[in-house]
Chain A
Amino acid sequence: MHSQQTNGRSLPKSRTGIRGLDEITGGGLPEGRTTLVCGGPGCGKTLLAAEFLVRGAQEFDEPGVFMTFEETTAELAANVASLGFDLEQLTREGRIHVDHVLVERHQIEEAGEFDLEGLFVRLGHGIRKVGAKRVAVDTVETLFGGLPNPGILRAELKRLFHWLKDQGVTAVITGEQGDGTLLTRHGLEEYVSDCVIILDHRAEGQMSTRRLRIVKYRGSSHGTNEYPFIIGERGFTVMPITSARLDHEATDERISSGMADLDEMLEGKGYYRASSILISGTAGTGKTTSCGHFVDAACRRGERALYFAFEESPAQIARNLRSVGIDLKPHVDSGLLRFHASRPTLHGLETHLAMILHDVQEFEPAAVVLDPITSLLTTGANNEVRSMVTRLIDSLKSHGITGLFTSLNSAGDADLEQTDADVSSLIDTWLLLRDVELNGERNRVLYVLKSRGMAHSNQLREFLLTPQGVQLAPAYLGPSGVLTGSSRVQQEAVVRAEQAERRQELEQVRRRLEQKRAETGAQIVALQAQLEGVEAEFKAVLDAEAAREARLLAAEAVLARSRRQTTEPEQPVPAGSGS
């Protein structure tokens, strides 16, 4: 759609409303032109034509005429009802006109020149009746079986396609697949030159897959690949749903992984919303349990979660998770959690992927779990399939859905990190679960291999499955590597003993200090007393000295007085002053 809008000469397009088809055609079928849809029996041409009409009437306010040669009106209505469309209702509302053309060879005698004006009259009448903008003709080649003189039919069909163009309606003509060089049995592609779509339904390796390919689209660029599609309960879905452009928005919002210890390793906040997370590990390392925590956390936040289980039944998963303290039943009951369990081999692989997208679109979850994604990768085992998974992950991202995928590695894999290289570039947060064998034990460790956009922990943690869920214990580095299990317990005991010892030492020192403090206190008291004694002594001496001084002065005074009484002339003494 994007590239076409910038191109001024591009054709106007008529949206089909069919999921995925408008994307690969860059906006729909050529407006006012005729598109040929061809394929073998049971490939879905009739339903494609019908959905094009019904969606036109329902979603784009473009009424349509359906001219059917093979199915009666009632049969057609029943068939499209399986896609959830009510053709009879649309007919009653005057938005769709269905005309069943019945040609019975045994009733017909040809006696001279004829044309197919009757067909034109009928189409024209239908178009005028509902004001049709769209026309579907399915399958016009049936006429070759019902009427004589192929030469006339060919000329008339050519005229029909010109006539449809003149009517300005967007038309879909279906045709039976031809053999050899012809796309259709009677070479209809000769007359329809604007757009040709081939539908295919084939089995490969015991898996059947529906595919769609645009052979030709005049005046427009289009995807040339074969695109898988499914016919589901809500009509067609053609992969891819989204374009493969990298334009999804990045959010800063963080959501919990459901495991407090893991959140702590991821800056204490958990995953980014709408990111894709891969948990890879060997069998029995706790991948499914991690998924359980994740969906549990999502549902607790009140968000919808969709769990695709490819190797276990939902009941089995629920039971196993209960044993580690995760109860998903309330979430299933409240409708927040939905399980979808099936083996990828049940349908074709591409069909399976398309169905996943289909379910995702329908349920609109905030979190999706694919457990394990490797069963998708290994079933297909070709590059095309890998690119499909790429599209799937991409599509989840662009819809703002947080995707959690598990990857099962074979135990003997020397380099676990290499195994998932195919998808690793798409993954934002990659957790690795590993078995560590030591001292006759097998224990699990977890580490964050990468986590884009956050300063994640670089630690190796031991992954413990407890009745309260997953706990991540710090792992110890010993002389022979990481210590886990009983080695870790032993190491923890050693550390505890050391700690106790240190505590004891400390206590001793503290006690010595107390003692010293007491001793020093006593000494201070003694010295104080001593000092006070000296001070008292000093004061006594001072007092004594003062007393002595006083006495000396007094004595001197007495002596002076007595001396004056003997040496009168020296100092006149007033009369009566002495005694």
Chain B
Amino acid sequence: MTAESAPAWHTAPEEEGTWDLRLYVAGRSPKSLQAIVNLQRLCEEYLPGRYTIELVDLLEEPQLAEGHQIVAIPTLVRKLPEPMRKIIGDLSNTERTLVGLDLKRRSDII
């Protein structure tokens, strides 16, 4: 009915919802850059139009590391859909990244 729900109706089935993602990196380290590239590629491929990515550079905002309990770099946090998930690493392992994003069942890759 509302203006916000209208695009969701068009772009995705209701049961799938939107992926609210946040990627923590530390400057322009190779792993960080690799993670950014990998994430964008995967989202375009599996979640076209149904995702948002917020990029947090901890070298610029170090206080966020503590607040969001970040230890490993890079860390991808799936805020939505719930429950919250953390995927660590440069996301070069596509299978595991998809499991972490809930786009693939764990049993499928074992």
Which residues of chain A have a CB within 8 Å of any CB of chain B? 99, 101-103, 107-119, 121-122, 124-126, 143, 146-147
Determine the chain A residues whose CB is within 8 A of the CB of B74 once the complex forms.
114
Provide the bound-state CA to CA distance between A147 and B71, in Å. 10
| From A111, A117, A146, contact of B97 by CB (8 A) | A111
Going nearest first, the 3 A-B pairs with the smallest beta carbon separation are: A112-B89, A109-B100, A117-B73
Contacts of A147 in B (CB 8 A): 71-72, 88
Among B8-16, B43-51, B56-64, which stretch is in contact with chain A? B56-64
Report yes or no: A101 in contact with B69, Cβ–Cβ below 8 A. Answer: yes
A124 to B61, CA, bound (A): 12
Say yes or no: A122 contacts B91, CB within 8 Å: no
Q: Is the CB of B59 within 8 A of A121?
A: yes
Point out which of B24, B69, B71, B92 has the most chain A C-beta atoms below 10 A from its C-beta. Answer: B71
Contacts of A118 in B (CB 8 A): 24, 26, 58, 65, 70-73, 75
- Report the Cα distance A109→B100, complex, angstroms: 6
By the criterion of a CB under 8 Å from any partner CB, how many residues of chain B are at the interface? Answer: 37
B4 at the A/B interface (Cβ < 8 Å)? no
| CA gap between A108 and B96 in the complex, in Å | 11
- Main DSSP-derived SS at the A contact region: mixed
List 20 extra interface pairs beyond A111-B76, A115-B72, A115-B73, CB under 8 A.
A107-B85, A109-B86, A109-B87, A110-B89, A111-B87, A111-B88, A111-B92, A112-B31, A112-B35, A112-B38, A112-B89, A112-B93, A112-B97, A114-B72, A121-B26, A121-B70, A122-B70, A122-B71, A126-B66, A147-B88
Chain A: CB-nearest residue to B74: A114
CB neighbours (8 Å) of B58 from chain A are: 117-118, 121
* Contact yes or no, A109 B88, CB < 8 A: yes
Determine whether B29 belongs to the interface, using a CB cutoff of 8 Å to chain A.
Answer: yes
* Interchain CB contact under 8 A, A99 and B66: yes
Chain A residues whose CB sits within 8 angstroms of the CB of B90 once the complex forms: 111-114
Contact present for B66 and A125 (CB under 8 Å)? yes
Tell me the number of A-to-B contacts counted with CB atoms below 8 Å. Answer: 106
Chain B: minimal CB distance from A164 (Å):
16
For B94, list chain A residues within 8 Å (CB): 111
Docked Cα-Cα span, A275 to B91, in Å, equals 74
Question: What residues of A have a CB within 8 angstroms of the CB of B75 in the complex?
Answer: 114, 118
**C-alpha spacing A112/B94, complex, angstroms:** 9
A114 partner, pick from B65, B83, B89, B99, beta carbons under 8 A = B89
What are 20 sample pairs from A and B whose C-beta atoms fall under 8 A apart?
A: A101-B69, A107-B83, A107-B85, A108-B87, A109-B88, A111-B88, A111-B93, A111-B96, A112-B91, A113-B90, A114-B73, A114-B75, A118-B24, A118-B70, A121-B70, A122-B66, A124-B62, A125-B62, A126-B66, A146-B71
**Which residues of the other chain, A, contact B26 by a CB distance below 8 angstroms?**
117-118, 121
Nearest CB of A to B93, in Å: 4
Q: Is B55 on the interface with A (CB-CB < 8 A)? A: no
**What A residues does B72 contact at CB under 8 A?**
114-118, 147
Cβ–Cβ < 8 Å partners of A146 in chain B: 71
B110 CB to nearest A CB, Å:
13
